Amino acid sequence: MTEQHNSRQALADAIGAAMWSNDSASQALGMQLLSIKPGYAIVSMQVRADMLNGHQMCHGGIIFTLADSTFAYACNSYNQSTVASACHIDFLAPARTGDVLEAEAIERSLSGRTGVYDITVRSRGGKTVALFRGKSYRIGGEVIAGPQQADADHERNHSTIKGDPHDRQTTQAR
């Protein structure tokens, strides 16, 4: 069981790194991926002056983006390409310049191609800023080449030379 847990965690870590390397939006907003596990993620972001709305509070769209990015890491952590099919957010308290927000995504349901995730956005002081619920849909394919893809690639790249059945060899395909 521990070996399986370790391999699932290693896969989630690799997926997080691969997604982060392509996630220009989250990087531009100064987000940091703090933790990723199968069905779980934590992402943080410090509120900057250029994130404020006309009331000098963090714009709701920025908070939504933090929650949505965290949702994406959690629901893709199994290495099956997954997108949002629906999202809802409740804004509970304002965030201000300098506040460090942490969004924590927790998988609540996963069945077939769909999942449900709850994301809580809190300030580092523990104040709940927003509650987000995301519904996910698996679109097919993998985030990174995983065991399924590696097996398919191995089969595609290696073939058995036909001829004498007692003298079969495996050779690299061209």
Mean pLDDT value of segment 132-152: 81
CA–CA gap between residue 69 and residue 4 (Å, rounded): 27
Q: What are phi and psi of 10, to 5 degrees?
A: -60, -40
Least confident piece of the model among 55-64, 94-103, 104-113, 156-165: 156-165
Fold for the domain defined by 2-172: Thiol Ester Dehydrase; Chain A (3.10.129)
Q: Which residues pair with 104 in a beta bridge?
A: 42, 120
Are 129 and 95 contacting, i.e. CB atoms less than 8 angstroms apart? yes
- The letter for the amino acid at 37 is K
Give the burial class of 103: count Cβ atoms within 10 A of its Cβ; 0-12 exposed, 13-18 middle, 19 or more buried.
buried
Give the pLDDT score at 147. Answer: 58
Give the pLDDT score at 150. Answer: 47
Q: What are phi and psi of 154, to 5 degrees?
A: -60, -45
Asked whether the predicted pLDDT for residue 1 surpasses 80, the reply is no
CA–CA gap between residue 145 and residue 152 (Å, rounded): 10
Tell me how crowded residue 113 is: count the other CB atoms within 10 A of its CB: 13
Mean pLDDT value of segment 111-138: 97
CA–CA gap between residue 117 and residue 106 (Å, rounded): 6
Give the pLDDT score at 152. Answer: 47
Asked whether the predicted pLDDT for residue 161 surpasses 90, the reply is no
CA–CA gap between residue 125 and residue 118 (Å, rounded): 20
DSSP 58: B
CA–CA gap between residue 74 and residue 56 (Å, rounded): 31
Asked whether the predicted pLDDT for residue 125 surpasses 50, the reply is yes
Give the pLDDT score at 173. Answer: 41
DSSP, collapsed to helix, strand or coil, labels residue 54 as: coil
Spell out the domain ranges in the chain: 2-172
